[in-house]
Chains A and B, each alone.
Chain A
């Protein structure tokens, strides 16, 4: 009998009910999860909760426990509100009798001021809103009219929450992977790996010995940080090979051979979807990789990104064309991109955003590879097409193609160039194009981010890390620091969902944000930087930029 079945049986016994056949317990666990996460009862009816003093009724997904107590069950702190953990250990664990007893893993909103719950007092808390000692719970906690079977299932789920073995964590080592897809830029790859390897070396400089269990008496900020310092960070570089459909199996094999706690940074080309799906399915935090085309799936939980990359650029172009009042300033849009490159999904995203607004969208697809070849000829052909005059041109092209644009075709109106793909301010945009072209720039402007880059750039210089891909390298360094800081906050708690939740909650307080004017997340948010500029080159040569307007969060 597995532990949760024991727990379910225990719940029935404690509630004074006759235990049913063990076979019935299996769906019961599903019901508990459904109540906790979705607010749906065994009958399929919505969970209903009532707040005291006329506070009203809340139901369904709105009433689900997960909203406040979080996926991890470890609660949250928001403003003056401290929402306690409800993962089983925290509810049922008896109070420490002695300060030398091992403590439960740290949780920010831990309550130490009440007797442990029993199954009966927990059911009473959920139904009547009083704690294990009969004191009223917070006004925010609704009273839920749960039937006995639903209650049993919910309590069984709470008992199981937070009890699983966390992979990739030993007494002395924290295992991380970083993932590189075969279509990733080799220069960026080397730049990223250099930063990661140096960061891990620095992390492991302090002398190590096995981590002792955290004691009830040692819950100070100082001792918390000591627990993290005792674990060595180990990096596993998972370099994928071959075609994309085989990546998933490669990742499964690597994970089986080297269980990891989280995927830290990483580098993709135009397709990150297999990595995203792998992390989500295995419940592995996939933290802030360098990808141009992230997966936009708001309901997924484990992957977090710096931004939507080229998809955000597509939103910026759409906003520039449609304006805030959605009246298009161009009747036709021609998009140019290479087959199989990041421009393809970006062009699809832009076409979808313009659909229904009376804008005709064409695409000119250049053959895959062959960088720098055929682009000028293709543009001349586009210009000769009927109705081409006055249309907006959107170039989803790499620097080699941008450098080979040739002369500006006659009748060219506004040209939008993907800054991320085209090399940002170092884009080799020919002089003739610069008066027509604007760049999408989903980062802070170079003269404003300078001070935020001083520290990472100095850190690279001190370690003689060659600066070969500045944004990728500083983003990688930022990702490492963000994760290290959050893990310090978590002390001896390694629940993977809690890592995501803590990152989401704390990110907006981060002052050193590298290339981004600000970073911010919250529950159900996956993209930390949400906007960008439209810029143009100030001069026919050089890298000086002028913003066309304010930062836009489309």
Chain B
């Protein structure tokens, strides 16, 4: 199993970083906002097979490389505190995108794949009124771990994860990593900034 540590981006992304730094300044000014930190990273998407919530076995790189911008998080369905909050943020982000929602791919990968069968993922997605562009993924423990490690999410178990959102404008572009719980407005702003620098 590969353990891909993220690399800080080289100078070519310096401009994007500056733009993002401006966006961060705006976000953190909001009263009582959670302290989310942002960074640009490069991750090698591992070539693993996952099971999508419709039961279909899919390739993770193919799911991510269909041309749409990707917004990604990691959750599990019996998580009671941070995951519902993250999923609720995804749901509101999706709603606030309005007509642009059809252009994005929201992906949630399970940290507890043996418990989270496709049927349980569908039920979970329904709880948050997930739209057609938001899919949930499960699979083997090894596949989920490979994805967690590739995105530097793995912290020793599902109970040890923190709030995290990743987004990428297009295949080949760097990932924006947001550690901490971002609000839907934050995500919307970050997303639009990211697309503008594409």
| Residues on A facing B (Cβ under 8 Å) | 51-56, 58, 62, 67-68, 76, 78-81, 83, 129, 136, 139-140, 324-326, 505-506, 508-509, 518, 520, 522-525, 530-531, 550-551, 553-554
B114 at the interface (CB under 8 A from A): yes
* 9-residue interface stretch from B65-73, B101-109, B181-189: B181-189
Known contacts: A58-B88, A140-B181. The answer to whether A553 contacts B113 by CB under 8 A is yes
Out of A52, A58, A80, A531, which one reaches B32, CB within 8 Å? A52
Min distance, Cβ A524 to any Cβ of chain B, angstroms: 5
Whether the pair B114, A553 counts as a contact (CB closer than 8 A) is yes
Min distance, Cβ B74 to any Cβ of chain A, angstroms: 11
Min distance, Cβ A58 to any Cβ of chain B, angstroms: 6
Min distance, Cβ A309 to any Cβ of chain B, angstroms: 16
Q: 20 other contacts beyond A62-B88, A139-B32, with CB at 8 A cut-off?
A: A52-B32, A52-B33, A54-B185, A55-B181, A58-B84, A62-B127, A67-B84, A76-B81, A79-B160, A80-B162, A81-B81, A136-B32, A139-B34, A140-B181, A324-B57, A520-B112, A520-B158, A524-B80, A530-B115, A553-B117
B175 at the interface (CB under 8 A from A): no
Known contacts: A56-B92, A58-B84, A523-B78. The answer to whether A79 contacts B33 by CB under 8 A is no
Closest A residue to B188 by beta carbon equals A54
Which residues does chain B contribute within 8 Å of A520, judged by CB atoms?
A: 112, 114-115, 157-158
Which residues does chain B contribute within 8 Å of A83, judged by CB atoms?
A: 81
Known contacts: A53-B32, A139-B33, A505-B159. The answer to whether A78 contacts B114 by CB under 8 A is no
Binding site secondary structure of chain A: loop
Whether the pair B184, A78 counts as a contact (CB closer than 8 A) is no
**Pairs across A and B, CB under 8 Å, 28 listed:** A53-B34, A53-B183, A53-B185, A54-B185, A55-B184, A56-B91, A78-B79, A78-B81, A78-B82, A78-B161, A79-B82, A79-B160, A81-B82, A81-B162, A136-B32, A139-B33, A139-B34, A140-B81, A140-B82, A324-B51, A506-B159, A520-B112, A520-B115, A522-B159, A523-B79, A525-B78, A530-B114, A531-B114
Whether the pair A325, B55 counts as a contact (CB closer than 8 A) is yes
Whether the pair A140, B30 counts as a contact (CB closer than 8 A) is no
| Chain B 1-54 residues near chain A, CB threshold 8 A | 30-34, 51
Q: How far is the CA of A338 from the CA of B50 in the complex (A)?
A: 40
Whether the pair B114, A524 counts as a contact (CB closer than 8 A) is no
| Chain B 125-183 residues near chain A, CB threshold 8 A | 127, 140-141, 155-163, 181, 183
Out of B55, B91, B162, which one reaches A79, CB within 8 Å? B162
Whether the pair A139, B76 counts as a contact (CB closer than 8 A) is no
B194 at the interface (CB under 8 A from A): no
Which residues does chain B contribute within 8 Å of A524, judged by CB atoms?
A: 78, 80
B121 at the interface (CB under 8 A from A): no
Q: How far is the CA of A506 from the CA of B113 in the complex (A)?
A: 18
Which residues does chain A contribute within 8 Å of B79, judged by CB atoms?
A: 78, 522-523
Q: How far is the CA of A326 from the CA of B76 in the complex (A)?
A: 25
B89 at the interface (CB under 8 A from A): yes
Which of B31, B55, B141, B159 has the most A CB atoms < 10 Å from its CB? Answer: B159
B58 at the interface (CB under 8 A from A): no
Known contacts: A67-B84, A136-B32, A530-B115. The answer to whether A509 contacts B78 by CB under 8 A is no
Known contacts: A55-B184, A78-B79, A80-B162. The answer to whether A522 contacts B112 by CB under 8 A is yes
| Residues on B facing A (Cβ under 8 Å) | 30-34, 51, 55, 57, 76, 78-82, 84-85, 88-89, 91-92, 112-115, 117, 127, 140-141, 155-163, 181, 183-185
Out of B80, B114, B181, B185, which one reaches A523, CB within 8 Å? B80
Which residues does chain B contribute within 8 Å of A81, judged by CB atoms?
A: 81-82, 162
Closest A residue to B164 by beta carbon equals A79
Which residues does chain A contribute within 8 Å of B184, judged by CB atoms?
A: 54-56
Which of A53, A506, A550 has the most B CB atoms < 10 Å from its CB? Answer: A53
Closest A residue to B76 by beta carbon equals A522
Closest 4 CB pairs of A and B: A553-B114, A139-B34, A67-B80, A530-B114
Which of B32, B79, B113 has the most A CB atoms < 10 Å from its CB? Answer: B32
Whether the pair B88, A508 counts as a contact (CB closer than 8 A) is no
Whether the pair A508, B157 counts as a contact (CB closer than 8 A) is yes
Which residues does chain A contribute within 8 Å of B76, judged by CB atoms?
A: 522
Closest A residue to B128 by beta carbon equals A62
Q: How far is the CA of A457 from the CA of B78 in the complex (A)?
A: 35
Closest A residue to B187 by beta carbon equals A54
Which residues does chain B contribute within 8 Å of A553, judged by CB atoms?
A: 113-115, 117
Q: How far is the CA of A83 from the CA of B85 in the complex (A)?
A: 14
Q: How far is the CA of A79 from the CA of B84 in the complex (A)?
A: 14
Q: How far is the CA of A506 from the CA of B51 in the complex (A)?
A: 27
Q: How far is the CA of A506 from the CA of B157 in the complex (A)?
A: 10
Q: How far is the CA of A505 from the CA of B76 in the complex (A)?
A: 13
Which residues does chain B contribute within 8 Å of A518, judged by CB atoms?
A: 141
Out of A62, A68, A79, which one reaches B159, CB within 8 Å? A79
Closest A residue to B157 by beta carbon equals A508
Q: How far is the CA of A81 from the CA of B85 in the complex (A)?
A: 12
Q: How far is the CA of A80 from the CA of B181 in the complex (A)?
A: 11
Known contacts: A62-B127, A79-B160, A139-B33. The answer to whether A55 contacts B183 by CB under 8 A is yes
Known contacts: A62-B127, A79-B161, A522-B115. The answer to whether A139 contacts B82 by CB under 8 A is no
Known contacts: A508-B157, A520-B112, A553-B113. The answer to whether A51 contacts B78 by CB under 8 A is no
Which residues does chain A contribute within 8 Å of B183, judged by CB atoms?
A: 51, 53-55
Min distance, Cβ A75 to any Cβ of chain B, angstroms: 10
Which of B34, B81, B155, B157 has the most A CB atoms < 10 Å from its CB? Answer: B81
Which residues does chain A contribute within 8 Å of B181, judged by CB atoms?
A: 55, 139-140
Which residues does chain A contribute within 8 Å of B114, judged by CB atoms?
A: 520, 530-531, 553
Which residues does chain A contribute within 8 Å of B89, judged by CB atoms?
A: 55-56
Which of A78, A136, A325, A551 has the most B CB atoms < 10 Å from its CB? Answer: A78
Min distance, Cβ B76 to any Cβ of chain A, angstroms: 7
Which residues does chain A contribute within 8 Å of B30, judged by CB atoms?
A: 53
Q: How far is the CA of A554 from the CA of B159 in the complex (A)?
A: 22
Closest A residue to B33 by beta carbon equals A53
Q: How far is the CA of A224 from the CA of B180 in the complex (A)?
A: 32
Q: How far is the CA of A140 from the CA of B76 in the complex (A)?
A: 17
Which residues does chain B contribute within 8 Å of A531, judged by CB atoms?
A: 114
Min distance, Cβ A510 to any Cβ of chain B, angstroms: 10
Which residues does chain B contribute within 8 Å of A523, judged by CB atoms?
A: 78-80
Min distance, Cβ B159 to any Cβ of chain A, angstroms: 6
Min distance, Cβ B106 to any Cβ of chain A, angstroms: 16
